[in-house]
């Protein structure tokens, strides 16, 4: 296995385990064992568990934005609805047990580290995304609309753990249509 392949394997295994068991519920020995790599291989790529968590979050965020970009045509008549639908598909495929970024904020709050900053930054980018979209579409009160759509997506994510991604997405699409209809 090449060096970059080993790093990719470590990131893949770590993300799966962190998602399934939480950041605090997984030790480096378990990641090393499931990735089938030597201890030094992990430490050559990630000097600490925090560094590994940071990279996992960065990689997941990159995948999320690539996914959203691939499914949302910004110049379409309904990019807001497309964004809600894409987020719902992401939840069904990648985030059916809740939000890894919120978990990171909860687990690392107040510890003055990069992990919490990355996770909070992801949430801020979501708000900025909808604000830019509202500006691009000439919507008034773009800040309010951005907050409403961000809250809608965050609520959809939370409800996924209770009612499933499909039902949560159906409700969020209906709410998104209402929001779009009531904005100028």
Is-contact 95 110, C-beta < 8 A? no
Domains 1-47 and 56-182 share a fold: no
Phi, psi of 22 (to 5 degrees): 90, 160
Task: Indicate if the alpha-carbon torsion angle 51, 24, 13, 153 is positive or negative.
Answer: negative
Residue with tokens 């970059």: 4
Residue 2 has pLDDT above 70, yes or no: no
Cβ atoms 151, 49 nearer than 8 A: no
Q: Quick one: pLDDT band at residue 172, thresholds 50, 70, 90?
A: very high
Q: Tens digit of pLDDT for each residue in 6-44?
A: 999 999 999 999 999 999 999 999 999 999 999 999 999
Domain ranges in the chain are 1-47, 56-182
Tokens representing 138 are 């000439």
What integer best gives the mean pLDDT of the chain?
92
CATH ID of 56-182, from 3.40.50.2300, 1.10.357.10, 3.40.50.300, 3.40.50.11810: 1.10.357.10
* Contact between residue 109 and residue 97 where contact means Cβ atoms under 8 Å apart: no
CATH architecture of 1-47: Orthogonal Bundle (1.10)
pLDDT digits (tens, 9 = 90+) for 71-93: 998 778 789 999 999 999 999 99
What global pTM score does this model have? Answer: 0.90
Closest by Cα among 29, 72, 70 to 52: 29
Q: How confident is the model at residue 51 (pLDDT cuts 50, 70, 90)?
A: very high
Residue 19 is predicted with a pLDDT of 94
């Amino acid at each position: 296995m090449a060096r970059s392949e080993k790093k990719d394997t470590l990131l893949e295994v770590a993300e799966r385990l962190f998602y399934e068991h939480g950041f605090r519920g997984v030790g480096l020995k378990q990641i090393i064992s499931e990735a089938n790599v030597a201890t030094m291989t992990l430490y050559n790529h990630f000097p600490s568990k925090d560094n590994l968590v940071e990279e996992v979050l960065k990689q997941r965020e990159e995948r999320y934005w690539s996914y959203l970009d691939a499914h949302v045509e910004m110049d379409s008549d309904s990019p807001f609805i497309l964004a809600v639908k894409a987020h719902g598909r992401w939840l069904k495929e990648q985030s059916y047990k809740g939000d890894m970024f919120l978990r990171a904020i909860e687990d690392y709050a107040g510890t003055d580290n990069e992990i919490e900053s990355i996770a909070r930054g992801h949430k801020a980018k979501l708000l900025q995304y909808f604000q830019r979209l509202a500006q691009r579409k000439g919507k008034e009160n773009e800040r309010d609309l951005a907050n409403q759509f961000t809250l809608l997506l965050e609520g959809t994510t939370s409800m996924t753990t209770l009612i499933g991604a499909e039902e949560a997405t159906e409700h969020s699409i209906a709410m998104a249509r209402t929001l779009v209809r009531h904005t100028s």
